[in-house]
Amino acid sequence: MLIQIAKVFSADEAATLRQRLEAADWVDGKVTAGHQSAAVKHNRQLSERHPLAQELGDLILQRLSGNNLFMSAALPRKIFPPLFNRYEGGEAFGYHVDNAVRGIAGTAERVRTDLSATLFFSEPDAYDGGELVIDDTYGPRTVKLPAGHMVLYPGTSLHKVNPVTRGARISSFFWMQSLVREDSQRALLLDMDVAIQRLNQDAQGHPSIVQLTGIYHNLLRRWADV
């Protein structure tokens, strides 16, 4: 399941955040790469403990907590603190699969990476290349979204970032441990949730709404990992 979440930040907000990120000190992106992915990872990142990374990471999580589509699609139990990366001058990240479990720096907390997210801060016409390519059931899917928009996809996916040949691609990336481990089950729950919301709009008070809501929660009860 690949979900695009529009306008986590407005274009103006994203531009302001991008300007602050552009002025920050960046380090080699290999600092957070696993053994396999380090061989194909060529980019830069903000340190996990950089004050700006922590400030903007908290802001992202605050926005997402109020985003109905994100909450319905991810059903988050734990969210890894958002990280920030930058690609330019031919930098790229070859095909890889994210580590299954990631520890949060400075804590004993671990997050199973059921879902991955990329939140774009650079406008698509500000750089050439830099597409996020995600292999799914239907083949490679190419993602390059407006600034302030985010894509959510299964952490099990093989994916890469194409070389950036002009300009700079700045984004945030992070992972979630969902209440529901299996992507197919999350997809079914999301479809049902969206259908219930539409039925509430089109036929408010219809008795089927209560029945369908009960089915949704009984499925969530069956599948939830708490």
Binding residues for Fe cation: 96, 98, 159
Instruction: List residues forming the annotated binding site for 2-oxoglutarate.
Output: 169
| DSSP states of the chain | --EEE--SS-HHHHHHHHHHHHTS--EEGGGG--HHHHTTEE-EE--TT-HHHHHHHHHHHHHHHT-HHHHHHH-EEEEPPPEEEEEETT-EEEEE---SEEEPTTSS-EEE-SEEEEEE-S-GGGSEE--EEEEETTEEEEE-PPTT-EEEEETT-EEEE--EEESEEEEEEEEEEESS--HHHHHHHHHHHHHHHHHHHHSTT-HHHHHHHHHHHHHHHHH---
Instruction: List residues forming the annotated binding site.
Output: 96, 98, 159, 169
